[in-house]
Structure 1
Amino acid sequence: FTVWPPRGASRPVPSIIADAGLAKSADPAAPRMGAAVLASSPGGDRKGAPVDRPGEFVPDALAARNDLPDLYRQGCQASGTDTEPRSCTYGNQSASFTIALVGDSHAAQWAPALQAIATTKGWQLVTYTKSACPFLSAEVANGDRPYTSCTSWNRTLLARLTGDQRPNLVITSSSNYRVVRGDRVLDSEESQSALGEGMRTTWKALGSAGVKTVVLRDTPRPDIDIAECASQYPKRMTKCAVDRDEALSGIGERQVAAAASLRNVTLVDLNDAICPTERCAAVIGGVLVYRDTNHLTATYAATLAPRLNTALERILRD
């Protein structure tokens, strides 16, 4: 088990890649945007602190709801009733190295960064995502009922990823969920334990099939609608800032614990590049960070590509 980094109207993705310096042909004079304005160790960087007037930013707050990963527009996000995985493929279609991005909408939000990496590395990226369905071996609740289509989707997808279509690397993340056992929805503490067990079971199965797993720690959760707030307070944007400790309370803790016991799993935590200071800003580097209460804008996610690329290079080298 390892952790990275070590402790101690949206623009097209290719433009964001160049601005962030990931592409080999990037113009060093191009303006740096989003997470690219932050230091290599971004924790505490005041460039990511909230300000009342951050200047012009993208996407526009009124358009942020539609600042989504491509996979949504292309019909690749499985819906609530789907039991069969849907997929989209990006990057080099005939590449010898394949990454699978797997999980719920909190996994899907990382697709823009991974598309950027796949494009520049010549890798193939295949996405398998489903709404409100984490990639793990446990039956999660949909309201007060078992989310049976999610359970079936997970079973089918795990067989695919450990069978003839297994990738070189699985990348996953997820939000938090309640678990169902029998006819009972477990309470929060029981659910956390069951989620951890379900994560370990799934990640062990991948490891047994020779597939490494990278777990992206879940992102800070503002729990206020950042796009709506930015629209309401364009000259008092600090009203849209949220306390970092509150936004991270309980976030990804079960992922950390579950990964800790497995040798084939690496946890990647980029949250310092999403909320660098004691209060999480709505806008960093001229980019709106969230499109709603808990999902990154596709534009901001794309600016995280160089940091995720560095983590993946390290993981694959070790």
Structure 2
Amino acid sequence: MDSTQTQRRSQYRGHRRDIDGLRGLAIALVVVFHVFVGRVSAGVDVFLLLGGIFFFSPQIRNALNPAGLTVVQSFLRIFRRLYPALITVVTVAVVSALLIFNRVRWPEVGEDAASSLLYVQNLHLANLGQEYSAVNREVSVFQHIWSMSVQMQIYLGSLLVIALVAAMFQRHVRSSSQVLHWLLVIATLASFGYATWLGGHDQGANYYSPFSRFWEIGLGGLFGIWLLGRVLPAAWAQLRLVAGVAGLVLIIGTGLFLDGAAQFPGPWTLVPLAGAMLVVLAGNPVEGDDAESSTSSWVTALLCAAPFQFLGRIAYSLYLWHWPALVLVTYLMSDGADVVEPGGGAGSFFNGITATLGNGEGILVGTVVVVTSVLLAWATYRLIETPLRQRAKPARSMALSPAYVRQSVRGRRGVVGGVSALVMVIATVGVVSFGPVIEHRNEQAAATEADDVDPADYPGPAAFLEDVPVPDDMPVQPDPAVGEEEMLPDTQPDGCFSGFAESNVILTQQFNSTDTPCAYGDVDSDRTMYLAGGSHSEHYLNALETIGEEQGIKIVPILKMGCVLGMNLPHLSGDPYPECAEWNDKAQQYIFDNPPTDGVFMPVTRPTMIEGDGPDMVPFEYIDMVQRLTDAGIHTWGVRDTPWHMAGPGVQGNARLCVAEGVDGDCGIAEEASMAPVNPALEAYQGLDMTPLDLTPALCRDGRCPAVVGNVLVYRDGQHFTSLFSSLLAPEISRQMYDASPALPETPLP
């Protein structure tokens, strides 16, 4: 290669304005799809690829340079570039949420904000996806920070590996470079394989996992090392336009034709990433080019145009601002409704803000959100990002010396960044501590509320069952604003349930890690009753504990979240749930090997659809389970499932939030929408040893199933009882269990 070509190749390894424009296109797709479509676009995936292009090659060269920055310095350089804008947006969003949201949402805002600042939002969201109590949790104001958390985790882990390998081969730079390149190849392929496998087992975890997402950044790194700026053969000049157009089609078409929430980061993610690489290659130099002709493709020229350059410059800040603005404005304009979660509206294409506000108002408000976000992003770029950016590369230093610190905090134009750093520290401490402070306040408030409420003021289910008068102007108990965690049965803090990731039967407290048995009611009794199934069994614990004490029965929970006895359910999202099947086999084996003296208490109906849409019905697997219990001489206490409060088809509502925010109406659901006209268990279990229990009369009246009955909050979310309401159900459940005549017909119902 002659000296002219070598010089030109070096030039193209420098600043690429077309890549800036591609970043601008990516952020435009993210914003438009989030605001108006409510689907996952390819924008974030393009960002991950571009991040890898400009991360690995420079960091490898730096690590192999004896005068290069240390791991700490490299991380601080990245952190300094990203954190000032992040803390600015998060702080403003938290303050705005406090002004707009009811206090019932404050704990969630605090949790999400802290997770965002600590760069663990992806793990936080993945964990929420594994919590059955969070299935109808409203969309987070900071949900979009998951991608930045993934990037930071991957960058930090990669920096450590790169530094370690460079140190091991410090005397053999060429060997070290080859090892690092091969490690990157292997890690990228391994991550791709893992993402492909995990997508078929747990897509929720797959979507947020840094191990699943690594290959997108790794692929960008390999592309940057091997192809970015490389002078391509002269024949490529004729293919630039085709490559550029094909790349744009692949990137833009991804959000239109693929369901990223359900398919990424699996193999289909190669579609937008291939598109992005084609667009970048369309701007590469070719043999015989002069510097100007490298932009001959109109695709490259388009990306170099002012609008895309502007969006590319503010892309990071725009990404930070647009989602909080969308969520908060939608909530404010819709009297408490939430924007549709990206990827959550598979039944219709347009599920963004128009799905909440309607087409006319939605388009208008959405446009205001976009314009406002752009203005805020521009201001953040000019006033926060640019002035605080570290302009000069510091000298290598193993320790953060005073000279290095002074150089680090000195911003552009000679403005000392010490004040800015102090403000960021104060804001960070305030935001991170906000959630725990609110939680502590709620715990104190909950501790002052006695479960033994005056039945004259809080008759609860007796108001429907016995027409007991309900005093007016009494505050609802438990306080719907104190948080769902304070309304859970004791099995939760005791660790007496199997979580989503476990498949073992939990029989002792703290998930079998102690010797204290999971037992309630009359814990010293030789008589036993199993409370078996998932959370719709668990929320009867308070009632059964009272009944167990009265009847002299020990209540033993055999519980797994999101699972039921006798039926291998998928996750609520529809993803496979192999842990449920494993737990089912073990739970049934335990029950049959250790038969209870007083039977098994469990739900015997469920909604028609897995998402919760009604009416209730009886799956044949339920009948088969009761048949096997009957054959084993074990009685079944079969309770009808509760009404599920749905915000829309396939979308669960939240009755507690509705009550806390004072929404007009009873915050309930029409009985016919969730419950069949006649308890379907009456016919389905004929001839089996089962006592049917139906609490619908305690929950519904005159065709409505409200969120508050007798001044008592019925649900802690959309279908699970509060512990207080469960306790107040004990007399009716006991009556149906021991005082009422068997209700199963001997002959088929007409």
Give the TM-score range, shorter chain: 0.7 to 0.9
Match status 1:302 vs 2:727? yes
* Alignment match of 2:564 (pick from 114, 124, 134): 134
Alpha carbons of structure 1 residues 64 and 119: separation in structure 2 relative to 1, 3 Å: farther
CA distance in 2: counterparts of 1:147 and 1:262, whole angstroms: 32
**Shift of residue 155, structure 1, vs aligned partner:** 1.1
CA distance in 1: counterparts of 2:594 and 2:707, whole angstroms: 43
The 3-state SS of whatever aligns with 1:34 is coil
Instruction: Say if 1:214 and 1:265, in contact at 8 Å, map to a contact too.
Output: yes
**Shift of residue 282, structure 1, vs aligned partner:** 2.2
**Shift of residue 102, structure 1, vs aligned partner:** 0.4
**Shift of residue 292, structure 1, vs aligned partner:** 0.8
Instruction: Say if 1:35 and 1:274, in contact at 8 Å, map to a contact too.
Output: yes
* Structure 2 unpaired stretches of 5+: 1-445, 508-517, 647-652, 744-750
| Highest RCO, 1 vs 2 (Cα 8 Å, sep ≥ 6) | 1
Match status 1:148 vs 2:578? yes
Match status 1:197 vs 2:616? no
Q: Structure 2 length normalisation: TM-score?
A: 0.34
Match status 1:85 vs 2:515? no
The 3-state SS of whatever aligns with 1:171 is strand
Match status 1:247 vs 2:668? no
Paired letter, 1:140: L
Instruction: Say if 2:532 and 2:557, in contact at 8 Å, map to a contact too.
Output: yes
**Shift of residue 109, structure 1, vs aligned partner:** 0.9
Instruction: Say if 1:100 and 1:128, in contact at 8 Å, map to a contact too.
Output: yes
Q: Which deviations, in whole Å up to 9, do the C-alpha atoms of 1:12-64 show, x marking residues without a partner?
A: 55x26xx66xxxxxxxxx65521133344xxxx5968xx9x753121111125
* Alignment match of 2:655 (pick from 226, 231, 244): 226
CA distance in 2: counterparts of 1:153 and 1:127, whole angstroms: 14
CA distance in 1: counterparts of 2:669 and 2:741, whole angstroms: 35
Paired letter, 1:156: K
Match status 1:69 vs 2:496? no
The 3-state SS of whatever aligns with 2:519 is strand
Instruction: Say if 2:626 and 2:688, in contact at 8 Å, map to a contact too.
Output: no
Paired letter, 2:692: L
CA distance in 2: counterparts of 1:246 and 1:278, whole angstroms: 10
CA distance in 1: counterparts of 2:606 and 2:450, whole angstroms: 27
Aligned residues: CA RMSD = 3.2
CA distance in 2: counterparts of 1:107 and 1:135, whole angstroms: 10
Alpha carbons of structure 1 residues 114 and 58: separation in structure 2 relative to 1, 3 Å: same
Question: Which residue matches 1:25?
Answer: none
Alpha carbons of structure 1 residues 262 and 12: separation in structure 2 relative to 1, 3 Å: farther
* Structure 1 unpaired stretches of 5+: 1-8, 21-29, 180-187
CA distance in 1: counterparts of 2:607 and 2:738, whole angstroms: 28
CA distance in 1: counterparts of 2:450 and 2:741, whole angstroms: 28
Question: Which residue matches 1:58?
Answer: 477
The 3-state SS of whatever aligns with 1:99 is strand
Paired letter, 2:644: R
Question: Which residue matches 1:124?
Answer: 554
The 3-state SS of whatever aligns with 1:128 is strand
Q: Structure 1 length normalisation: TM-score?
A: 0.76
Q: Which deviations, in whole Å up to 9, do the C-alpha atoms of 1:269-304 show, x marking residues without a partner?
A: 011101123222222222111111111111111111
Instruction: Say if 1:226 and 1:291, in contact at 8 Å, map to a contact too.
Output: yes
**Greater mean deviation of Cα atoms: 293-302 or 278-287:** 278-287
Instruction: Say if 1:196 and 1:257, in contact at 8 Å, map to a contact too.
Output: no
Paired letter, 1:60: D
**Shift of residue 263, structure 1, vs aligned partner:** 2.2
Q: Which deviations, in whole Å up to 9, do the C-alpha atoms of 1:71-109 show, x marking residues without a partner?
A: 111111211121111132012223132111101111111
CA distance in 2: counterparts of 1:251 and 1:85, whole angstroms: 34
Match status 1:108 vs 2:528? no
Alpha carbons of structure 1 residues 126 and 12: separation in structure 2 relative to 1, 3 Å: farther
Identity over aligned pairs, percent = 24
Q: Which is strand-richer, 1 or 2? A: 1
**Which protein shows a greater Rg?**
2
CA distance in 2: counterparts of 1:284 and 1:176, whole angstroms: 22
Match status 1:38 vs 2:458? no
Question: Which residue matches 1:185?
Answer: none
Alpha carbons of structure 1 residues 276 and 47: separation in structure 2 relative to 1, 3 Å: farther
**Shift of residue 199, structure 1, vs aligned partner:** 1.2
